[in-house]
Amino acid sequence: MKRAAFILVLLIGLLLAWAAKDFPTWGDPHAPASSSPVSSHFISNTGVDTEVPNMVTAVLADYRGFDTMFETVVVFIAGLAVISILRGGPTRRTRDREFVVDFEPDLIVTNTVRLIVPVIQIFAFYVLAHGHVSPGGGFQGGVAMGASFILIALSWDLKTALTRFPIERCFTVAAVGIVIYAGIGLLSMALGGEFLDYAHLAKVLPVSPEMARYHAMLGVEIGVGFTVSAIMFALYASLSTDGRMQDGL
């Protein structure tokens, strides 16, 4: 089995290496991918179309917003699936852990975390809201937000974190995130555009169509942030406790 796998893998490697000689020169600005009308359009026209300085955010949330919506849905699916797969097991630990986790939260750790967590959360908001101008956006901000709750769970225990963010609320928040995303899309559809055509939101917002895209992108990123932060925490909570939602890591 192992030998067969090794030979198979080597064959694939040779195939890929054979193709590599056909690749354009490293970093060539005139390579088809870099000089195609599509990516040139993104680089030259993002400012005109959406007024967003960060092209990645603009392409992510607007030009290819439909992808991003389904990416959010993938995260949501992961949360749904993990929770439902693990739920309904034995309520007590059936097999002993190899490690006994010290149950008493450490004073120094908890006090440090007490100081850090607000900073992390503010930073998460910053990353989310400033994603138009600097690297960042809904995913990164959402993950940072989820990580702050994971940090609480790690330094105290899962129960403390779950009182702040119960698992049912995780679900609701994640679903609300998708509702926000799809809702902005549907709203633009109701205003006469295509799905996710944010320019039509200018009819209800007191801004130009380009700025409407700008603001709608922020809304969309907030939706993404909701879903991602809730699901990341829910993933941790389910996986660390084997679905029992008590006495985690």
Partner 1 sequence: MGLELFNTLILSLLVVVAVLSLWVRDLVVSAVIFAIYSFLMCLLWAEMGAVDVAFTEATVGAGVSTVVLIATIFNLKRKAKD
Partner 2 sequence: MVEDGSIFSQLLVDRLNYFIYIILLLIGLWAMIAKNNLIKKLIGMSIFQTAIILFYVSIGVKEGATIPIYLPEHDPHGSHLKVDVNGSEKMLPPEVLESSLVPGYSNPLPHVLMLTAIVVGVATLGLALSVCLRIYRGYGTVEEDELLEKLEREDARNTGRPRRRRPRRAPSEKAVATEKLKSGNPRPRQSRTNRKGAKAGSSEGTRNDSTKSVTEKRKTVRKPRKKTSPKPKEDNS
Partner 3 sequence: MSDHIVWIVLFPLMGAVACALSGALSKKLCYPISVISMIASVWASVHTMMQAIESPVHEISYILGGWSLDLFPRGVGIEFRADLLGALITLVVTGVGLIVTLYSKVPVQRETPGKEPMYYGLFLLQICGLAGIALTGDAFNLYVLIEVAALTGYGLIALGSNRAAAATFNYVILGTIGASLYLLGVGYLYLKTGTLNMVGIREVIEAQSLYDSPAMQVAFVLVLVGILIKMAFFPFHAWLPNAYCHAPSTTSCLLAPLVTKVMIYVMIRMVLTVFGVEFSFESTLWTEVMPWLVAVAIVCAAVMALAQREIKRMLAYLIVAEVGYMVGGVWIYNYYGLIGSIFHVISDACMTLCLFLGAGIILEKCRTTHFDGLRGLFAKMPLTMIGFFIGGFSIIGLPPTCGFFSKWYLITGGMVSERWEYMVTLMFSTMVMVVLFFRLIERIHLAVDESGKNLGKGHGDLGLTEEQTRFDEAPLTMLVPLLIAASIVMIIGVYNQEVVDQIEVFLRAYNLPTGVSYK
Which residues in this chain contact partner 2 in the complex, by CB under 8 A?
1-2, 5-6, 8-10, 12-13, 16-18, 20-29, 31, 33-34, 38-40, 42-48, 51-56, 59-60, 64, 67-68, 71, 74-75, 77-78, 81-82, 85-86, 89-90, 94-95, 133-135, 139, 210, 228, 235, 238-239, 242-243
Residue 87 interacting with partner 3 (CB under 8 A): yes
Instruction: Say how far residue 208 (Cα) sits from the centre of its chain.
Output: 29
53 interface partner picked from partner 2, partner 1, partner 3, none, CB below 5 to 8 A per type: partner 2
- Which of 149, 148, 142 is closest to 127 using CA atoms? 142
Three-point CA angle 77, 81, 85, nearest 5°? 180
- Distance, in Å, from the CA atom of 246 to the CA atom of 119, rounded to the nearest integer, reads 27
Query: CB under 8 A: which stretch of 15-23, 61-69, 97-105, 188-196 binds partner 1?
Result: 97-105
- Distance, in Å, from the CA atom of 84 to the CA atom of 134, rounded to the nearest integer, reads 37
Spell out, one character per residue from 47 to 76, where the chain touches partner 3: x when CB under 8 A holds, - when not: ---------------xxxxxx--xx-xx-x
- Distance, in Å, from the CA atom of 25 to the CA atom of 8, rounded to the nearest integer, reads 28
Burial 162-189 (b: 16+ CB within 10 A, else e): beebebeebbebbbebbebbbebbebbe
Q: How many CA atoms lie within 13 A of 27 on its CB side?
A: 0
Residue 216 has which token pair? Answer: 């709608």
Residue 94 Cβ, how far from partner 2 at the closest point, in Å? 7
Q: Which of residues 132-161 bind partner 1 (CB under 8 A)?
A: 135-137, 139-140, 143-144, 146-147, 150, 154
218 interface partner picked from partner 3, partner 2, partner 1, none, CB below 5 to 8 A per type: none
Cβ–Cβ under 8 Å, residues 142 and 128: yes
The residue with tokens 């955010």 is: 57
Number of residues that bind partner 3 (CB under 8 A): 59
98 interface partner picked from partner 2, partner 1, partner 3, none, CB below 5 to 8 A per type: partner 1
Q: Which residues bind partner 3 (CB under 8 A)?
A: 15-16, 18-19, 21-24, 31-39, 41-42, 62-67, 70-71, 73-74, 76-78, 80-81, 83-85, 87-88, 168, 171-172, 174-176, 178-179, 182, 186, 188-189, 193-200
